[in-house]
Structure formats: structure tokens, C-alpha cells
Chain A
């Protein structure tokens, strides 16, 4: 009887509230379904997923795997360790924010990201294969020397489908626990329109520009509020965003929701009217897909991989001045034909990226790598 192939995944941080953690755990699930003896190792394993991962420092004492999959997203000692391993290595690249975004705000993060890109280039010499979330990420891998690169979208749990499966929902889709959670946290003023962005408060995501857009939308006669959901990458940056809101006179209409639970996140998606992104760097942008899945029209600055992820299912802007983004938001809010068209296209796109197709694609990419590693 042949032995089950053994695969060890490595990542910097294993957490349940981040896209990389979700992806790593879903890949772990898929590998097990494929008959693989799969384990996850990380430098930091958050308590809520401690049963799913081990400290990578213990790896040297464990039986050697047939294949290593390294989930690359930042600079980490984990990559240095992976470099010293003799087993075949596959790098699953989720992009790294260019360090220049953090230079002025968080030099330590900037150095970490620079280090991560150097590690990525070193891994190119040793890795047998690269997997990228998007064509944008694939181009970056090839630029640093990866020869065999496949594209497979990042895996995530489609929250909108989970929501649809909830019991006790009425036909309009309201009445969920999530609605109650959000209403209790930050009730919307009567008739106010909610602009939503989900993502860490981070210089590359440019939430300050969204504050400008909020002021612009209000100047165009729309009673609006801006909700920013996500943890904090730079406290100084958050403080600056709040100061800009104060100076523009819209601080009362800005909601910083912070890092939220899954049910709260669902609530924010359900209570919003439009998803707006002016981020200057995204390797894929899961929240855009989630927004489309929840039936939100998306207005986004078409930087990095954003346009590729949207694929025409949202308003993709070539510039992000206040007047252009605010005009786009107002157009989407005011023109029901445009809005319904975007929502319909968005749902189809979310189905493509968040459904079974992405799981099938990662299986398709992994199978020959497993065959090669186990010699079958």
C-alpha cells in the first residue's frame, strides 16, 4: 500500500481574521480531502486557531514532508527556515505591500516588507513552482525569477452564501443576527447613505482619500457616512485619517469599526449602500469580492490587481481625485439602472471567485505538484 504524501504549509502568522490565514486553512482542508497528510506551521499561531497550526521552530524535530508550501506575504524568519530545507518548495504568493508606503509611517514594517521581497527573490532559486492569486502577482513572481507560475485565486469562505443559509431570515434578507449587531454598534442616521470600505487601516489602502470622498459626496447633496472596517497597521496613520475628517468637518459621519467578528462584518456589508476603494496596492482584494457577493455596487480606483479582480463588474476609475470618485459614487447611488447592472455583474463575478471554481483551480494546480513530490 502506498504511503500518503506529506505536505507542510508555512506562513508568518496563522490567524482567523485575515485573508491569508483563511486561505492557508482552506488549503489545509483541501489537501486533507485529497488524501494528503497536511500540517501548518507558523511563527505566530493565534489562540483561536491553535489546534490548526504548530510553531515552525518545532518543525525540525518532526518527520520530514514530501513537499513544502510557503504562503508568502511579508518578511519573516519562517522564510529563512524554509530556505534551509531540502524538500521541494512551492511558493504561494499573496503579494507584499511595497515598503515605500510605510517608510514615513512605520519604518519597522517598511524594513520587514523589504526583507520579505528579498526573501521572495532568494526562494525563486530554490522553489520548484510559484502559485499567485492574480495575474498581477504572477507577473511579480516572474520578475524576480520564478519560472513555473500558476494563477489560482485566494481561497475564502463566501460569507454571503453563509448568510443566505441562516435560518429565520425574511424574504428581504433582513433580520439577521448581524443586522442587530451593527445596529447596536453604530446605528445609521435616518436616510443616510453608507459608504463602506473593508481592509486594514494602512497607508497603501489610502483611507484618507475616502474621507475626502465622503466630504465630496456630502457636498454633492447626499447625506452620507463612511464606515471603515479593519484592524490597524499604523496608529499614526489612523490618527492622521481622523484629523483630516475633523478638518473637513465630516468626523461625525466617519465610523471606524475596527477589527470585527464575522457576524459584524456581515452586518456592515448588509447595511451598506456602496463599497468604495481607493487603495493604491492590492494583490487581490477579497473585500471587493465579498461586497459583490453581498450585492453591493463597487466603485474602485483601478490600481494593482483591483481591476483584474473586478473584471468589469464594478466602476473602475483611472484616477481618484475627490470629484471623480464622489461623482462615481453619486452616479451609482442615483442611477438605479447602473446600480442594478453593477449588482448583477458583481454577483456573477463573486460566484466565479468565491465559489467552487477557486477550490477546483487550487486542486488542479496542486495535484501535479503532489504527484511529483511523492514520486507517483
Chain B
């Protein structure tokens, strides 16, 4: 194609201006006008535009090429034996045939829809039955995870408990050691401790529960809190708050955790435990969680056995164990 075919001899580039945006705008206007002229004068170009739209609508999945409803109707039109738009009322015989085909098509599509609905219903029912069976089997063999899913989660330590721990920490006693909140949930206790000026972070195994606190800018980390406490170097944690799912364990687990906690905070360190209210459990939770969680009194005795002096305080109606490592 030669330069002589250029649609506009007064091209902006032939002017000396160096304003790229102005040049681009003028060139665009010329191209659009040229396209409009070609579209009018060249039936082949207009045909290709139509063919392209039709071809794309034909191969693209519903919803990918514009309005889904229009495309679906377009598809039905292409596949149907009878053109719904062609008026044939003046020809009684054909009208009768068209009416029969329309009713037969409606009946067939309705039949197919009902069959599909019935199939989906059966699938859903079978899935539910299979899920129930698996859940019963898992409960019967005592797997922990299904039980955890069946019971209400233990509440994370509240802001009031966080404030209590903040009061108990001697000023300047922590040096650079952090305060750790185990099973922190959305971080209410972490927020209270942070507001008191302490360097604190929370740990929780539930990556979803911590998101709200992270959004508020709290230092909440996703990890197994028990592993963090057990793996901590002796005396590396300034003070420790145990609550939520972390306190929900068997007696042997409680003893192990108490020993690890007192070691992690070291001499003169503070451990606060917020045991779940056993009396507050409903009958189903009580059965499912049998043997898990111990009362404040049991926690106190176990912590004393781990070389701590303890007292039980009531915070917001809940018995809270305060232990100072001797």
C-alpha cells in the first residue's frame, strides 16, 4: 500500500508541532472518520465485523461475549427448527405445525430440566448422607478434628484479662522480652496489652480468626501456640496469657503446657490462664469435650507443681489463674 492512499494529506505530523498528545488526538480523529467512511463504502468490511461478532458469540462460553441472556437466546435461535420471529399466521397448516413443534420443544426442555433437577437433588442428598456417615465414623474412632468442628470454639482471652495481665507486670521487668497471648483469636487481649505500652504479640492456629485483629494493625501471627511455647528458650518470654483453644486439653496436656509455660517465662515471670467455664457448656458440648479443659483450681494446682505461686481472681465473672514463677 502506498503513501498516496493516505486518507488525509494534511496530516498532523506534517506540521512542525511536537506535542505528542495533540498529535495522537488528531490522528485518532482522522482514523475514526476514515473507518466510518470505509464502513459505509466497503460492504466487505461491514460483513467481516458482523461475521466476527457472530463467530465469537458462537465459540465463546455463555457470559464471555456480552449479555448472557442474549447469547443464550441467540444460541437457542440458532439451534431451533423454527424461527420464532417469522410470522406465519396467514398459513394455517404451517401455523399448526409450528405450534406442535413449539409445544413439543417446550415439553422436551421442561422434561430435561426436571430430570436434571432430580439428578442434582439426588446428588445433594447422597452427598449429605455420605458426609453424615463419615462424621459418625470419625466421631466413633475418636479423631480430634471432627470433634473440634462439632463443638463451639472456646472464647479467646478478653480485653479485661489483657488489662489484668498488664497490671501484674512489674514496670521494666520484661527488658526486651515480649508478652505472648496464646490462642489470641481476634486479639482483644493483645490490644489491651499493647494499649498499656507492652511489646506483645498474639499467636493462634486459626488463620481466619486473626484477620480482624491484623486489619486493626495488631501483631497477630498464625502458628501453633503450644509449639511456640514448648519451643521457646527458657526465660525468653516476658509474660504469657493462655486461653481459648490452647487451654482446652486433657489433664496430661495441661501438665505439659504448665511446665513449658513456666520454663518459657522463667523466674519471676507471670503466667495467666483463662480456663473455659465447664458449667457453661451445653449438654452436647459437655459430652463431646469430655476429659478436655480443667477448672481454675486444677490449673492452679498444676502450676504450683511447676514451681509457681498462684491465686485465682474473678474477671468479668470468670475465674482466672494468676501464676508467678518462683
Contact = CB atoms under 8 A, between A and B. Distances in A.
Interface string B51-72: 1100110111111100000000
Q: How large is the interface on A (under 10, 10 to 19, 20 to 34, 35 or more residues)?
A: 35 or more
Contacts of B34: 327, 331
B7 A331 contact: yes
B35 A323 contact: yes
B90 interface: no
B24 A327 contact: no
Interface stretch (B131-139, B207-215, B252-260, B261-269): B207-215
Contacts of A337: 3, 6, 11, 13-14
Interface string B220-246: 111100000000000000000000000
Interface string A306-319: 00001111111111
B5 A334 contact: yes
Q: Please classify the interface of chain B as helix (H, G, I), strand (E, B), loop, or mixed, using the class held by over half of its residues.
A: helix
Given A86-B201, A338-B13, A341-B13, A330 B215 contact: no
A192 interface: no
A244 B1 contact: no
Interface residues of B, number: 55
Interface in A307-350: 310-319, 321-324, 326-328, 330-331, 333-338, 340-341, 345
A327 to B, nearest CB: 4
B216 interface: yes
Given A311-B20, A327-B34, A338 B27 contact: yes
A360 interface: no
Interface string B25-48: 001101110111011001011101
B31 A328 contact: yes
B58 A83 contact: no
Contact of B51 (A86, A104, A247): A247
Contact of A219 (B23, B36, B48, B210): B48
A199 interface: no
A215 B48 contact: yes
Contacts of A240: 56, 59-60
B21 A311 contact: yes
A316 B20 CA distance: 11
Nearest to B7: A331
Contacts of B221: 84-86
B233 to A, nearest CB: 15
Nearest to A243: B59
Given A84-B214, A220-B38, A334-B5, A244 B55 contact: yes
A125 interface: yes
A307 to B, nearest CB: 9
Interface in B178-227: 201, 207, 210-211, 214-217, 219-223
Question: Which residue among B6, B39, B45, B63 has the maximum number of chain A CB atoms within 10 Å of its CB?
Answer: B45
A191 to B, nearest CB: 11
Contact of B214 (A60, A126, A313, A323): A126
A222 B24 CA distance: 24
Given A333-B1, A337-B3, A322 B38 contact: no
A222 B1 contact: yes
B3 A323 contact: no
B59 A322 contact: no
Nearest to A335: B6
B2 interface: yes
A104 B56 contact: no
B1 A330 contact: yes
Nearest to A312: B20
Contacts of A122: 211, 214-215
A355 B128 CA distance: 61
A80 B207 contact: yes
A103 interface: yes
Given A236-B61, A243-B59, A334 B1 contact: yes
A292 B188 CA distance: 55
B45 A83 contact: no
Nearest to B219: A86
A203 B64 contact: yes
A324 B35 contact: yes
Nearest to A338: B13
B49 interface: yes
Contacts of B56: 208, 212, 240, 244
Interface in A212-259: 212, 215-216, 219-222, 236, 239-240, 243-244, 247-248
A219 B61 contact: no
A19 B44 CA distance: 39
A245 to B, nearest CB: 9
Interface in A122-140: 122, 125-126
Nearest to B20: A312
A104 B64 CA distance: 5
A349 to B, nearest CB: 8
B59 A323 contact: no
B28 A317 contact: yes
Nearest to A222: B1
A216 B14 CA distance: 27
B61 A244 contact: no
25 contacts: A80-B207, A80-B222, A81-B222, A84-B221, A104-B62, A125-B214, A125-B215, A212-B48, A212-B56, A220-B38, A221-B1, A248-B55, A312-B21, A312-B22, A318-B28, A322-B49, A323-B38, A323-B45, A324-B35, A327-B35, A327-B38, A330-B1, A331-B6, A333-B1, A337-B3
Interface of B: 1-3, 5-7, 11, 13-14, 19-24, 27-28, 30-32, 34-36, 38-39, 42, 44-46, 48-49, 51-52, 55-56, 58-64, 201, 207, 210-211, 214-217, 219-223
Which 7 residue pairs spanning A and B have beta carbons closest together?
A312-B20, A104-B64, A212-B52, A327-B35, A247-B55, A341-B13, A334-B1
